[in-house]
Amino acid sequence: MQEDFYESVSKPLRNKQIFEMAKGYAFDYIDGISNRNVYPKEEDLLKLKNFYEPLPQVGTDEEEILSALHQNGSPNTLAQTGGRYFGFVNGGALPVTLAVKWLTDVWDQNSVLYVASPVAGVIEEVCEKWIVDLFGLPAETAMGLVGGSSDASLCALTVARNTILERNGYNIYENGLMGAPEIRVVLSENAHATIFKALSILGIGSKNIIKAEANPDGTLRLDKLPELDERTILILQAGNVNTGAFDKFDTLCDLANEKNAWVHIDGAFGLWAKTSKEYAYLAKGIEKATSWSVDAHKTLNVPYDCGIVLCKYRDAFCKALQANGEYIIYSGKRDGMLYTTAMSRRARAFELWAAIKYLGKEGIATLVETLCRNAKTFAGRLSQLGFTILNDVVYNQVLIQYVDDEMTKRVLEYVQNDRVCWCGPTQWKGNMAIRLSVCSWATTKEDIELCVDSFKRGIEYTREKNLN
């Protein structure tokens, strides 16, 4: 029976034909990405009903599977790899990284251990050195690759919690959390939701979290910073998710380090500012922190998913996250599972390596500067239409409002239904706003003008609705 199954699946010529078919569909998608609606049309959304079917009793032909996915699935994706998606902080995907992903997906490597994939281990090791260099971090800094900065923060804060408890004479590895000394967390009242999620998972409740008063741009107020000590985790932001603002790392890290507090920087999309001479001032002092989280699938435009966790203390990092078993073969080389909560996981380093090698230091800086320049251009054009720009556009985030909450809501509804571009709502200072996250290498001046025209039509639509 096993031989029959093998024979039915292992058909080299047949399998090549299937891959050619998939390649054709992929090229069809790529060719149309710049001209298609950014959000699926209503008639396309109806095609999703075709996926609801009873569990098949017998298998389905490969061609039918690929065709169904392309015909019903491709039109119902968001065109975030194009140039007019500004919704969540999703980067585009550099073509070379997609090509590398295609190749390495065929490899299907598990980056758990060096012996499971020597090439994955070596590429991860190389990427660690490159990332540490790009961000100007301490040479001993260790890196792990995870799904995104949510997981990265969870890993980093796990190490922070365990290290702080050990420094204070408590062995969490033997005793667990029951009876552990209290840990305080200090962060901005505008900290990202994923940070609160990670703290909750780690058993750090709201009573142990001090939400410090923020400046108008969402950054921590230095004059309102609570007292720090050796049982404190201070969490800072490199790029507020609404305003793009950066905390004053140089000063805040100095204050924390004097008290032996742990400093974690949530830099999902903003940490890349360090790579640009023009924007490095925003990230001044990040090297003084203890741990960092950042995404490659945002500003660097690596395909999903590729989150990065970094920690200055390699031994503590590995101690907090490693697993042991009779069958686990540590190599003394790069064993990826030591730096994440996961064991089996795809080898994300391949696309990260490709992006850095393709762009180089200068190219990464140019990418960052291009995104920021496009954000400023977008903000300027929308201001000319009568939108209020609610933030100082220091990086790639633009926060806008039109007259009041109700009119802002109507303009956004029109723009989303127009499907020329896509952006989403947020709440800022108690009011509704529209958030534009400029993250894709593919965004052109023409794209911006097409989007501005859509917003202009949205204003006209809103005014007419008000008159009626």
Same domain, 329 and 273: yes
Query: Is 367 part of a structural domain of the chain?
Result: no
> Which of 297, 331, 356 represents a domain boundary (last residue)?
356
pLDDT, tens digit, 9 for 90 and up, residues 295-335:
999 999 999 999 999 999 999 999 999 888 888 888 889 99
> Which of 336, 356, 376 represents a domain boundary (last residue)?
356
Characterise 94 by phi-psi region: left (phi > 0), alpha (psi -120 to 50), beta (else): beta
Domain that holds residue 199: 100-356
Query: Is 392 part of a structural domain of the chain?
Result: no
Same domain, 233 and 178: yes
pLDDT category of residue 402 using cuts at 50, 70 and 90: very high
pLDDT, tens digit, 9 for 90 and up, residues 417-447:
999 999 999 999 999 999 999 999 999 999 9
SS3 category, 207 = helix
Q: Residue 4: in which H helix or E strand, if any?
A: helix 2-9
pLDDT category of residue 468 using cuts at 50, 70 and 90: low
Q: What is the rounded CA–CA span in Å between residue 320 and residue 206?
A: 23
- Mean pLDDT score, 225-233: 96
Q: What is the rounded CA–CA span in Å between residue 297 and residue 81?
A: 11
79 touches 38 (CB < 8 A)? yes
Is the per-residue pLDDT at 1 higher than 50? no
Query: Is 294 part of a structural domain of the chain?
Result: yes
Same domain, 241 and 182: yes
For the record, the structure tokens of 297 come out as: 């699938």
Characterise 93 by phi-psi region: left (phi > 0), alpha (psi -120 to 50), beta (else): beta
Q: What is the rounded CA–CA span in Å between residue 290 and residue 155?
A: 13
Is the per-residue pLDDT at 2 higher than 70? no
Q: Lowest-pLDDT range, 13-27, 280-294, 395-409?
A: 13-27
Same domain, 149 and 232: yes
- At 159, which CATH number? 3.40.640.10
Is the per-residue pLDDT at 256 higher than 80? yes
> Number of structural domains, the chain?
2
What is the average pLDDT score of the chain?
95
Query: Is 91 part of a structural domain of the chain?
Result: no
Same domain, 294 and 332: yes
Query: Is 25 part of a structural domain of the chain?
Result: yes
Same domain, 206 and 324: yes
pLDDT category of residue 3 using cuts at 50, 70 and 90: low
Threshold 0.85, pTM exceeds: yes
Same domain, 316 and 189: yes
> Which of 324, 356, 388 represents a domain boundary (last residue)?
356
Same domain, 29 and 163: no
Same domain, 130 and 230: yes
Is the per-residue pLDDT at 278 higher than 60? yes
- Per-residue pLDDT, 465: 80
Query: Is 461 part of a structural domain of the chain?
Result: no
Characterise 203 by phi-psi region: left (phi > 0), alpha (psi -120 to 50), beta (else): left
Same domain, 191 and 242: yes
Query: Is 176 part of a structural domain of the chain?
Result: yes
Is the per-residue pLDDT at 271 higher than 70? yes
Half-sphere exposure (CA, 13 Å, Cβ side) for 427?
Answer: 3
Same domain, 168 and 212: yes
In the chain, the percentage of residues whose pLDDT exceeds 70 is 99
SS3 category, 186 = strand
pLDDT, tens digit, 9 for 90 and up, residues 332-361:
899 999 999 999 999 999 999 999 999 999
Q: What is the rounded CA–CA span in Å between residue 236 and residue 89?
A: 18
- Mean pLDDT score, 75-98: 93
Query: Is 92 part of a structural domain of the chain?
Result: no
Same domain, 73 and 129: no
Long-range contacts of residues 458-461, Cβ cutoff 8 Å, at least 24 apart = 458/410, 458/411, 458/412, 458/414, 458/415, 458/418, 459/385, 459/386, 459/402, 459/411, 461/410, 461/411, 461/414
pLDDT category of residue 9 using cuts at 50, 70 and 90: confident
